[in-house]
Homo-oligomer: A and B are copies of this chain.
């Protein structure tokens, strides 16, 4: 990710918000909130985490994968393989 400082601030902001959501979940469990309401908040946090992953992935593809592809050869192939493996982990997590 080296050098994408503007995005780094945006990434940190998103992650801090997700951390706040997870702390909110702890409060809900602690206060014996209704399961379904907790589950709704879990889905929201999960959605935020996956959106973060997708934006990180887009950035990675636009920079690292595209740079490697521009050079071609084995490096390009291995970057594409690495990215699709990461996508598969995300789709199945």
A interface with B by C-beta (< 8 Å) = 1-3, 8, 11-12, 15-16, 18-19, 22-23, 25-26, 29-30, 32-36, 38-40, 42-47, 49-50, 52-54, 56-62, 64-67, 69-70, 72, 76-77, 80-84, 86-93
Contacts and interface: CB of A to CB of B under 8 A. Distances in A.
Q: Is the interface of A mostly helix, strand, loop or mixed?
A: helix
Contact of A2 (B12, B32, B60): B32
Q: How many protomers of this protein does the assembly include?
A: 4
A82 B12 contact: no
B19 A23 contact: yes
A59 B2 CA distance: 27
A75 to B, nearest CB: 11
Given A11-B29, A58-B81, A64 B46 contact: no
Contacts of A11: 29
14 contacts: A1-B35, A1-B38, A15-B22, A19-B19, A22-B49, A35-B60, A43-B93, A44-B93, A47-B93, A54-B87, A62-B77, A66-B69, A66-B80, A69-B70
